Amino acid sequence: MSNTNLNLYQKLHKIQCEVLGLGKDKSNYAYQYVSGSKVLEHIKPMMNELGILLKQEILKFDNERQDYQTRNGNKSEILTRVEMRFTWIDIHSGEKDENLFGANGQNDWDKGIGSALTYAERYFLLKYFHISTDEDDIDNPERKPEPKAEPKKQTAQPQKTQPNQPIPLTKMKGQNMSKHWVNLVNKISAKSITNIAQIKAVYSLTPELESELNQIINNSNAA
């Protein structure tokens, strides 16, 4: 059966069958994850071959100013929450499949909306096609520790296991927000994180970052 004879859902299913998982090409600390550019690199050629478009519409967005202190003084950023509609369109038949999706992004004043849109596109594609990314959410504070291989028995004396060490949290990675920070802000906005203790169980924080996160949590809990 040629691609033009397939209906829209058959074409989408064909993409899902082709992309079972993606290798990790980016890293934060000791963890690796798949980037948004790699997701598009694998999916877009198949969309072109099958004659599928993905229309992206912003239905609503809210900007909330975030003020906090750093070692260099006061700083302000924008936390942007977006509600979007992603519509798959078959260019041959005109069939459509509409999907609502939401995401958050925090960045400088001119980059908040861009961060939210990039995050939304990446995770919509990953979740829609059920693409396995293994450690993609390794910086989620609610994650489960990875199982460790049992040490070889050398003596009858039991070996002590080392507790997981907190991950040093940084906000910026070059000119962009770190993936750890963006996911924390998203979890706070979704109220999956409601107090600073959940974060400190996984991350080690500087006083400045702890103060800023407390403020974001308080704003989210009060909303």
What is the band of 163 on the pLDDT scale with cuts at 50, 70, 90? Answer: low
Q: Give the mean model confidence (pLDDT) for residues 67-90.
A: 88
166-195 confidence digits (pLDDT tens): 888 887 766 667 778 788 888 888 787 888
3-state secondary structure of 154: coil
Checking if the pLDDT of 219 tops 50, the result is yes
Q: Give the mean model confidence (pLDDT) for residues 21-45.
A: 68
Identity at 66, one-letter amino acid code: Q
Average pLDDT of every residue of the chain: 80
Q: Give the mean model confidence (pLDDT) for residues 16-33.
A: 64
Checking if the pLDDT of 146 tops 70, the result is no
What is the band of 1 on the pLDDT scale with cuts at 50, 70, 90? Answer: low
Distance CA 120, CA 179 (A): 14
pTM of the model: 0.54
Q: What angle do CA 100, 102, 105 make, to 5 degrees?
A: 155
Which pair of structure tokens corresponds to residue 196?
């600073």
Distance CA 80, CA 165 (A): 32
Q: What residue ranges in the chain does DSSP mark as E strands?
A: 26-28, 31-33, 52-70, 73-90, 96-107, 167-168, 172-173, 176-177, 203-204
Report pLDDT for 136: 41
143's CB contacts (< 8 A; 6+ apart) are 137, 202
